[in-house]
């Protein structure tokens, strides 16, 4: 075989290796492109789901609040539609100077009670709810919660009817602590309710949250409502 033939064979061997190098480049290029496509698609799906779900989430939060307002006066029985309409028909939202928003319960144009929102830090997360009062602004009618993340079976018992109903008829004190949560088994005064057994931190913090809201609300004149 002459020199010309050897050169030709050598050239062919070099050419034969080039497709392998191209395939290697393609394999290196594919993963980032694939990840970009997957991330873009999934990101778009998540954004779409969020856009679709956010109004529903907000509507559920609003209904939970409305139900808590109704529960503070024992009016929280019925379907979702019935409760929403009852909230709109019976309660008037009023901005009370020095406190914030208060919900006034009305019947035949007369004030028959108040629903006072409260919120503060619980043992694990914020506790938010509403406490109801008679027109005298001293007698409690009930308690409702619309947000809490306390320990199930312990602090989370605050949302149970047996605990919430214990506030019905209690009369807050003008001096000292308006309401008190005392250990179970202990006799209770007009402004005292039994605390949740085994949930000392939640009970203590809830007492502070309620009393803070009550003091700030009581420090202001009764909210005026337009006829």
Per the CB < 8 A criterion, the answer to whether 195 and 113 are in contact is: no
Torsion sign over Cα 181, 182, 185, 188: negative
Q: How many helices (H) and strands (E) does the chain have?
A: 4, 7
pLDDT in tens, 11-58: 444 444 455 555 555 566 667 777 777 777 776 767 766 676 677 788
pLDDT higher than threshold 90 for residue 8: no
Bridge partners for 142 per DSSP: 132
Computed over every residue of the chain, the mean pLDDT equals 85
Q: What is the pLDDT of residue 200?
A: 94
Helix (H, G, I), strand (E, B) or coil at 148: coil
Distances (CA, A) of 158 to 98, 127, 146, 181: 28, 10, 11, 12
Per the CB < 8 A criterion, the answer to whether 182 and 192 are in contact is: yes
Q: Is 55 left (phi over 0), alpha (psi -120 to 50) or beta?
A: alpha
Torsion sign over Cα 47, 52, 54, 60: negative
- Both tokens of 80, joined, read 């979702």
Please give the tally of structural domains in the chain. 1
* DSSP 8-class letter at 139: B
Q: What are phi and psi of 23, to 5 degrees?
A: -65, -35
**Segments forming the whole domain that contains residue 193:** 1-227
pTM of the model: 0.75
User: Which region among 47-56, 96-105, 109-118, 215-224 has the lowest average model confidence (pLDDT)?
Assistant: 47-56
């Amino acid at each position: 075989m002459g020199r010309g033939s050897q050169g030709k064979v050598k050239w062919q061997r070099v050419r034969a290796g080039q497709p392998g190098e191209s395939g290697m480049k393609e394999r290196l290029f594919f993963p980032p492109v694939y990840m970009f496509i997957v991330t873009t698609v999934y990101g778009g799906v998540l954004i779409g789901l969020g856009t679709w779900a956010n109004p529903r989430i907000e509507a559920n939060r609003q209904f939970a609040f409305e139900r808590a307002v109704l529960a503070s006066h024992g009016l929280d029985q019925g379907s979702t539609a019935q409760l929403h309409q009852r909230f709109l028909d019976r309660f008037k939202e009023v901005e009370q100077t020095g406190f914030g928003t208060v919900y006034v319960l009305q019947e035949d144009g007369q004030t028959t009670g108040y629903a006072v929102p409260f919120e503060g830090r619980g043992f694990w997360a914020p506790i938010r709810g509403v406490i109801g009062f008679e027109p005298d602004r001293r007698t409690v009618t009930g308690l409702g919660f619309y947000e809490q993340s306390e320990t199930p079976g312990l602090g989370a018992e605050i949302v149970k009817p047996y605990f919430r109903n214990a506030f019905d008829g209690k009369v807050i004190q003008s001096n000292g602590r308006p309401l008190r949560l005392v250990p179970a088994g202990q006799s209770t005064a007009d402004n005292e309710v039994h605390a949740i057994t085994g949930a000392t931190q939640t009970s203590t913090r809830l007492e502070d949250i309620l009393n803070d809201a009550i003091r700030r609300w009581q420090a202001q004149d009764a909210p005026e409502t337009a006829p």
